[in-house]
Amino acid sequence: MHAAATTVIVGASVAGIRAAAALRHNDPHHRIILVDGENEEPYDKPPLSKAVLSNTDLPSPHLTDHFGHGIDYRKGTPAVAVDTAASTLSLGDGSVIRYDNAILATGSAPRHLPALEGIPCVHYLRTFADATALRNDLRRRPRVIVVGGGFIGSEVASSARELGLDVTIIEAGERMAARVLPEPVSHALAALHALHGVTVRCRTVVHGASYDADRRAVELNLDDGDTVVGDVVVVGIGTTPCTDWAADSSLPIRDGFVCGPDLRVKGTSNLYAIGDVARWFNPRYGDEMRVEHWTNAREHAAVAAHNIVHPHAPRHASTVPFVWSDQHGTRIQHVGDPDLTAVDIDAVELSHSTRVFTYSRGGITVGATGFNAQGALAKIRKQLVDQRAPSLHRDHTHH
């Protein structure tokens, strides 16, 4: 009888918690140590830009019932280094843990806007503490400026409008959510915000700011010479993967930990990366990618947990990216190939608030976005998941 294998999971959020639960499910005897730098019970992230901001009662996004049985959870204990040769992780409290396998699930953190460093009333949104601080400031009934028209910024704008606040979105790019959505869909999103009273200014860059302490107001200087004044500024301009803590290791890091299709970090035999922090080779698309969506974190967790318990029958993470977002009472869902350049777009309006945009390449459906069209999106998502990987390879990929 062998001693139980030990897996250390770094990061107790969407991916890490799911990995712990899947490992426990796959192997009741596995020793699982879960560490996180935050001093919180594990919680879910999507409610932080939605119900946590807009609901009268503060909902609890905590995830405590998803794990428990025999998992050694150490909160407030960041990993500060990994030694792949010795298979050890060093923690912030000075302890060193030896692992048989480790899963790196350290996620991503908001990019900061240098022009706003040191200005009070500027918020970034990633943690429960960030969301509670923003929630408290929104209760002062401020004028809200959101810098960044991606999903997080748009959701904050929508939550602030639900509270009846004055909201402006400043977006540097040509259009909203351009990293994820094709042009006509960005325009539909901007129209939804306009309909609900949000001022959206695209192609506008914030290049400076000043704070008026008497009025507790922030004045943002824009590149077109204009200024906008708000009482609260929320910045949502993207994130960077949390890999700095492992920078001194020999691990391959390139906008995330670089992994093979089985999510093993390249050059290692017993170290996996999952969720927002993983840049992995997705065999379905024949390409490396990093995906910052909730479902991806959960799917990765299941694959890594399987591969640890069944090393001789490894699975590949050939996932189809999927994300949802709730804005102004509309459920937006987006599925498929993360590269939507050179696709044909077919837009179908089922009612004034229900629409489906379908994307195809060479007659083959490669993705879709729905506005309040959960049934249609579920069908397309299933169809994409069932498609055999080779038919999806993009013409321009080299590998």
> Which residues contribute to the site for ligand FAD (CB under 6 A)?
10-16, 35-38, 45-46, 48-49, 78-79, 105-108, 125-126, 152, 242, 245, 275-277, 292-295, 297, 323-325
Closer to ligand FAD at the Cβ: 329 or 362?
Answer: 329
Q: Report in angstroms how near the CB of residue 125 gets to ligand FAD at its nearest.
A: 5
Shortest Cβ 287–ligand FAD spacing (Å): 19
In Å, what is the CA distance from 217 to each residue of 122, 140, 220?
10, 12, 10
- The CB-of-312 to ligand FAD minimum distance in angstroms stands at 27
C-alpha neighbours within 13 Å on the C-beta side of residue 147? 31
Q: How far is the CB of 98 from ligand FAD (least distance, A)?
A: 17
Helix (H) or strand (E) holding 166: none
When the beta carbons of 48 and 228 are compared against ligand FAD, the nearer one is: 48
Q: Which is nearer to ligand FAD, 107 or 149 (CB)?
A: 107
* Residue with smaller CB distance to ligand FAD, 244 or 344: 244
Closer residue to ligand FAD in complex, CB, 245/371: 245
CB of 17 or CB of 116, closer to ligand FAD: 17
**Kindly report the CA angle at 278 between 357 and 331, in degrees rounded to 5?**
30
Name the minimum Å distance from CB 39 to ligand FAD: 9
Give the sign of the dihedral formed by CA 137, CA 142, CA 148, CA 149: positive
What is the CA 248 to chain-centroid distance, rounded? 25
Q: Which is nearer to ligand FAD, 297 or 373 (CB)?
A: 297
Task: Spell out the alpha helix ranges (H) of 139-292.
Answer: 151-162, 183-195
Name the token pair of 91.
Answer: 């923690």
Minimum distance from residue 391 beta carbon to ligand FAD (Å): 25
Structure tokens given for 272: 């996996």
The minimum distance between CB 302 and ligand FAD, in angstroms, equals: 13
Long-range pairs, 21-24, Cβ under 8 A, ≥24: 21/66, 21/67, 21/301, 22/301, 22/302, 22/305, 22/306, 23/305, 23/308, 23/309, 24/67, 24/69, 24/70, 24/71
- SS3 sequence, 31-54? EEEEECCCCCCCECCHHHHCHHHH
